[in-house]
A = this chain, B = another copy of it.
Amino acid sequence: MPTQTDHIVKSFDQELEALRRLVVQMGGFAESQLEAAITCVTRRDGELAGRVMRRDADLDEYERQIDAAVVRILALRQPMATDLREVLATLRIASDLERIGDYAANIAKRSLALAQVAAVRPTTGLPRMGRLVQQIIKDVLDAYGERDLEKALAAWREDETVDDLYTSLFRETLTYMMEDPRNITPCTHLLFIAKNVERIGDHATNIAETIHFLITGRTITDARPKGDTSSFVVVSPGDETQAKEE
C-alpha cells in the first residue's frame, strides 16, 4: 500500500515511468471513447451514447491526475533538460487527449438528435474516417510508448487523408440537404459529427508534434499537412450529381 512518503523513496525514473503509463492508459481510454461514439452514430444506440457521455468525466479525472503528478515532479525533482521536456510533454498530450474525449462525447450527444429523425444515407464515409482517426491515435500512442519518431511522423502525415475524407463527406452531405429539406437537420448534425472526428485527428496530429519535440528537442519545421479544404467548399442546387461523382 502506498504511503504518504512513497514519492520520496521512489526513484525519479520510476516516477517518470508511472507518468508515462498514465498517459498511455489515458490515450487508450480516449481511443475507446471515439470507437464507441462512432458506434452510437452508426447503430443509433442511445444507451451507449449515454455511457460515452458519462465516461467523459473519467478522462477529465485522468488529466487532473497527470497535471497533479507533473506539478509534484516539478516541485520535488526540479528536472532539467530532457527530463523537463518529457514532463512538460505529458501535460500537452494529456490536454490533447482530454479534448479528444470532449469531441467523442459531443459525437455521442449528437447521435441522440440523429436517432430522432429519419435515417440519412451518407454514413459510410463517417465510420471510415472514424476508423482511420482511431488508427492514428493508436499509432501515435505506440510512437509515444516506444519513442518512435518515424511512427509519429507517419501518423502525422496520415491526417491529410482524414482531411480529404472530411472534405468529400462535407460536399456530399450538402447535396443530400439540397435534395430533400427533411435531410437538413440530420445532415447538419452529421456535418458537425464529421467535423468533430476531423478535429480529433488534428489533436492526434498535435500529439505527434509533441512526440517529435520530445525526441528531437525541435519543433516540426515542415508545413503541417492541411487537407481540410471544406472551408472553401461551395455547392449550389443543381450541382448534386457532379459533387457526388467527385
Contacts and interface: CB of A to CB of B under 8 A. Distances in A.
Interface string A76-92: 00101100110010011
Given A81-B75, A88-B71, A110-B231, A236 B188 contact: no
Contact of A177 (B106, B116, B184): B184
B188 A191 contact: yes
Interface residues of A, number: 41
Main secondary structure of the interface of A (DSSP, over half): helix
Contact of A113 (B75, B88, B232): B232
A195 interface: yes
A231 B71 contact: no
A219 interface: yes
B71 A182 contact: no
For the complex of A and B, 8 pairs with smallest distance between CB atoms: A181-B237, A78-B78, A178-B181, A109-B231, A110-B231, A177-B184, A116-B234, A185-B235
